[in-house]
Structure 1
Amino acid sequence: MFNHILSSYSKAVSLRRLLQVEVSRHNFYSRKKSFATAMAEALDKLEQEREAKRIAKEAEDKAVKEANRLKRTLKRKKWVDWKAQDEEDAANGKKRAPFDPADRIKRKKCAILLSYCGANYYGMQRNPGMQTIEEELFKAMLKHKWITEDSFEQVQIACFQRAARTDKGVSAARQVCSVKLPEELDLDAFNKDLPEQIRLFGVERVTKGFNAKDQCNARTYTYTLPTIAFAAFDDQLDQETYRIPIERQEKVSATLKLYEGTKNFHNFTSKKNFLDPSAKRFIMSFTCSAPFLSPQSIEFVTLKVKGQSFMLHQIRKMVGLAIAIVRGNTTTATLERALTEERLDLPMAPGLGLVLDTVHYERYNDRYGNDGIHKPLTWAEQEEQVTQFIEKYIYSNIYKTEAEQRNMLDWLSTLHFHSYDTRRDEPAKNNSEDDDGEE
């Protein structure tokens, strides 16, 4: 009897303990669930606060940006008290200038196709006191009221932007610029007020946000030079009679191909070091044409390089090193080292043969070229005129100047002065500015 009671009591105690454990587990999971819910609510609240702060910061930044824009606009504008000005002019016997209707002409963003021979000009970009391509262009635009006087003084008002810059003596076959222009334009009359070395061949309406430099996804340059540049450095040859052998042509092509791809070109420009991200450039293709004779019976070839963008002196240094390799002044090992972190002494070819050939807008054309409003910027209708201009003014100048002044032969005589080895000068500073063109 006693054992039965003890057994029943033990079972009751065990059941009680089991119930206590279950209750404890229930309370634990309830507390755990409450804690998880509280954490989720706290995180949601924190995320909402962060989002509110972000929106407030964006609104503040936008307000500051707009205030700075208005501030710059007010600085540009010349606010005049016309009543006081009229009284002063009357006292001095002067009259206020009549209203210029050109100030009220509606202008829209356009892309213009420009060709020019850079001989006798100090580059494309405007430079006070210097004869430049842009100065001639702006003078003609002002005369024909394509731009206002304020825009002539500050071309940023007309949203002017060139696709690529060119240095003294460098020509452009198909330069593109963006600028706000009137809807009705007389290109024939306009070109009559430009020097014969500069011609505007086409104008196309573009999107409001179009920028000739930013929307350009690739640029093609050509470099035309006499084939004697690739002869062995120790050969005594005549420029007029030299004809490049086929095996040497193949060596030229093989050397140029070494530049293709994404590489670090810090040795092919100035003020950039190996760690500067902007020193990396993508070369899509670098080829050499078949040899041909100029009117002066000198054999030439044309090198053509296409890349996303180029730095200061990059193309001329690429050509200079390629010539040195083919001639035997150095080897391809120098080119391989030049693409590493070493600072090397590399030659730079003359600027005479360099031409900005084409600027490419494939992405823009794919997006807007067939939208029914805008035309693709391929300039197919103007190609015949452009080709005639190139032959008459650009290439003829290269052939004639080379025959008379022998720029390439003079430069070749300096190749042996280069060490093609580590430079002893100070390391370049970081310079992230994108030149977007050969200067």
Structure 2
Amino acid sequence: MGNLWSKEQVKEEEVIEQEEKISITTIEESTVGSKRAADPDQESPKAKKTKKNKRDSRPRQPPLEHSGPREPRLPKKKVALLIGFNGTGYQGLQLNPNSKTIEGEVFEALCKANGVSKDNANDPKKVNWMRCARTDKGVHAAGNILSLKMQIPSDYDIVERTNSFLPEQIRVWGYVPVIGSFNPKTLCDSRIYEYLLPTYVFMEPIKPEITSEQVHEDDLMLSTMVDGEPTTFYARRSTPELIEKRHAYRATQQQLEKFKKAVKLYEGSHNFHNYTIGKGYKDHSSMRYIKNITVSEPMYIRDTEWLSIKLHGQSFMLHQIRKMISMAMLIARTETPVSLIQQTFGEKRINIPKAPALGLLLERPVFDVYNDKLLQKTSKEDRIKIDFDVYKDKIETFKQEWIYSKIFDTEIQEHVFDGFLTFLDAQLGHEYDYLNPEGVIPDICIVHTKYNNKGDDD
């Protein structure tokens, strides 16, 4: 399933490469052959000849011998590598020295499978390594794209061989030959994410026991600003009885409708500066376009009620989806009107907490524009599109076994969302005073950073 290229396509690409080489050589030759003005500091022909004779009289060094036989050269093609992974235990997707990353595992496996030559194994840049959608620590992906110039052996399936060197929580689905200038990040026209949310997060806030010193080993340490001063305190984690009560909770129809209305307000073009870090209201890159958001009907997994939220947008910023889910959730569990969402697109800077990374996964990047242009520019009917549906059965099996089940298992064992609620309900300051029945953002909870200084609020 991995090698999808025909011999005709390989020949076609070789002809194109030869034509590119010829055109480059022609340019170089024309440059060399052109006349230049005389340089007053240039040596005379006689002096050059004397130097040449001296060089020729020097003893020549014998050519260096290679320590071993040269590795046979295999054909290399620019490809889009379709992958999926469970991000648990990894410091995100992107290659990072001295960190355990998804890309690090995939690159190492490709080297072992001879998809990357030994000469290029020490530096991914040598094979023009790129990624489509970067994912954070602990975030999963049913589908994502890496691109590189990959060696394609003819005597075995490179996809199968690469997977044999990968842990089961990381899979290569296949590869698609792409144009030489292919950049998966810029040519991806949109991305689809999914967030799995237990509905017990809609329960009314329950104030936990708070102390100035740690009393129990598993107490949650929290830091916040109280009256302008940084304050550290400890919150008692939920009792087994409260955790059991939360998992048995079922959202009301009113809560579900309110949550759905809230997330629908994210659709369209808005300034999402409040939903990321390191960007201000006046930063043009804070503008993002959300195509569509859908919320599933409640589903019941291991006695807990869950929702699946699908978010389809052109692109998303760091933490954006987790903050979007969190804000809609906070509105649904309080008396705050959904109109607050629209206010968050304005200049006022507020602190929106991040929902746990546990529930977030990248379903797939979308390349519809690239695929359409590719088909228009070529007469070949067998030109291959970037399409995850080719592997939908394998991907669905992987999602069930390595993403969904792991999310549910982790929540049951570690009570991740319960810990998130404890953190929210234990706050002592005024950070979340924007959660009020009037739906207004009071000045006391406005955050001032270098991205929105006090003088910039007018």
So what's the TM-score if we normalise by structure 2? 0.70
Of 218, 221, 233, 2:193 maps to 221
Gaps of 5+ in 1: 1-58, 64-81, 87-94, 431-439
Do 1:329 and 1:415's aligned partners in 2 also have CA atoms closer than 8 Å? no
Do 1:206 and 1:374's aligned partners in 2 also have CA atoms closer than 8 Å? no
5 Å-filtered alignment, 1:67-146, equals 86=64, 96-102=66-72, 104-146=73-115
Do 1:115 and 1:201's aligned partners in 2 also have CA atoms closer than 8 Å? yes
Structure 1 residue 429: deviation in Å?
Answer: 7.4
Structure 1 residues 406 and 159: alpha-carbon distance in aligned structure 2, compared to 1, 3 A threshold: same
The aligned residue for residue 170 of structure 2 is 198
Name the CA distance, whole Å, in 1 between partners of 2:90 and 2:70.
32
SS at structure 1 position matched to 2:297: coil
Do 1:116 and 1:173's aligned partners in 2 also have CA atoms closer than 8 Å? yes
User: Deviation digits for residues 259-315 of structure 1, max 9, x if unmatched?
Assistant: 111000111111111111100000111221111122x22111111111101111111
Name the CA distance, whole Å, in 2 between partners of 1:169 and 1:427.
29
The aligned residue for residue 404 of structure 2 is 395
Q: Percent identity, aligned pairs only?
A: 33
Please, what is the CA RMSD of the aligned residues?
2.4
Work out whether 1:268 is the aligned partner of 2:301. no
Structure 1 residue 388: deviation in Å?
Answer: 0.2
SS at structure 2 position matched to 1:98: coil
SS at structure 2 position matched to 1:177: strand
User: Deviation digits for residues 103-149 of structure 1, max 9, x if unmatched?
Assistant: x2221111111010000111111111111111111111111111123
Of 386, 390, 396, 2:395 maps to 386
SS at structure 1 position matched to 2:293: strand
Structure 1 residue 355: deviation in Å?
Answer: 0.3
The aligned residue for residue 279 of structure 1 is 286
Work out whether 1:363 is the aligned partner of 2:374. no
The aligned residue for residue 10 of structure 1 is none
SS at structure 1 position matched to 2:357: coil
Do 2:152 and 2:158's aligned partners in 1 also have CA atoms closer than 8 Å? no
Of 135, 146, 149, 2:118 maps to 149
Name the CA distance, whole Å, in 2 between partners of 1:406 and 1:137.
31
The aligned residue for residue 56 of structure 1 is none
- Name the aligned partner's letter for residue 255 of structure 1: A
- Name the aligned partner's letter for residue 238 of structure 1: K
Structure 1 residue 98: deviation in Å?
Answer: 1.9
Of 129, 132, 145, 1:160 maps to 129
Name the CA distance, whole Å, in 2 between partners of 1:348 and 1:98.
54
- Name the aligned partner's letter for residue 100 of structure 1: R
Structure 1 residue 342: deviation in Å?
Answer: 0.8
Gaps of 5+ in 2: 1-26, 32-59, 208-241, 435-440, 454-458
Name the CA distance, whole Å, in 2 between partners of 1:109 and 1:83.
39
| Number of corresponding residues | 341
Select between 332-341 and 302-311 the one with higher mean Cα deviation. 332-341
- Name the aligned partner's letter for residue 270 of structure 2: K
Work out whether 1:239 is the aligned partner of 2:246. yes
Structure 1 residue 85: deviation in Å?
Answer: 9.1
The aligned residue for residue 187 of structure 1 is 159
Do 1:142 and 1:149's aligned partners in 2 also have CA atoms closer than 8 Å? yes
SS at structure 2 position matched to 1:238: helix
Name the CA distance, whole Å, in 2 between partners of 1:397 and 1:346.
27
The aligned residue for residue 43 of structure 1 is none
The aligned residue for residue 10 of structure 2 is none
Work out whether 1:288 is the aligned partner of 2:295. yes
User: Deviation digits for residues 46-74 of structure 1, max 9, x if unmatched?
Assistant: xxxxxxxxxxxxx9xxx9xxxxxxxxxxx
Do 2:131 and 2:185's aligned partners in 1 also have CA atoms closer than 8 Å? yes
Name the CA distance, whole Å, in 2 between partners of 1:85 and 1:192.
40
- Name the aligned partner's letter for residue 312 of structure 1: L
SS at structure 1 position matched to 2:246: coil
Of 423, 446, 451, 1:428 maps to 451
User: Deviation digits for residues 151-190 of structure 1, max 9, x if unmatched?
Assistant: 3332122122111111111111101111111234432222
Structure 1 residues 83 and 195: alpha-carbon distance in aligned structure 2, compared to 1, 3 A threshold: farther
The aligned residue for residue 6 of structure 1 is none
Name the CA distance, whole Å, in 2 between partners of 1:329 and 1:165.
36
Work out whether 1:314 is the aligned partner of 2:333. no
SS at structure 1 position matched to 2:400: helix
Name the larger-Rg structure: 1
Do 2:298 and 2:306's aligned partners in 1 also have CA atoms closer than 8 Å? yes
Do 2:195 and 2:310's aligned partners in 1 also have CA atoms closer than 8 Å? yes
Work out whether 1:325 is the aligned partner of 2:334. no
Name the CA distance, whole Å, in 2 between partners of 1:352 and 1:205.
33
Do 2:192 and 2:310's aligned partners in 1 also have CA atoms closer than 8 Å? yes
Name the CA distance, whole Å, in 2 between partners of 1:317 and 1:329.
19
SS at structure 2 position matched to 1:352: helix
Name the CA distance, whole Å, in 2 between partners of 1:84 and 1:302.
69
Select between 274-283 and 226-235 the one with higher mean Cα deviation. 226-235
- Name the aligned partner's letter for residue 143 of structure 1: K
Name the CA distance, whole Å, in 1 between partners of 2:61 and 2:327.
67
Name the CA distance, whole Å, in 2 between partners of 1:323 and 1:83.
74
Do 1:106 and 1:183's aligned partners in 2 also have CA atoms closer than 8 Å? yes
Structure 1 residues 189 and 265: alpha-carbon distance in aligned structure 2, compared to 1, 3 A threshold: same
- Name the aligned partner's letter for residue 105 of structure 1: L
Name the CA distance, whole Å, in 2 between partners of 1:429 and 1:151.
45
Structure 1 residue 192: deviation in Å?
Answer: 1.0
Name the CA distance, whole Å, in 2 between partners of 1:333 and 1:251.
11
Structure 1 residue 204: deviation in Å?
Answer: 1.1
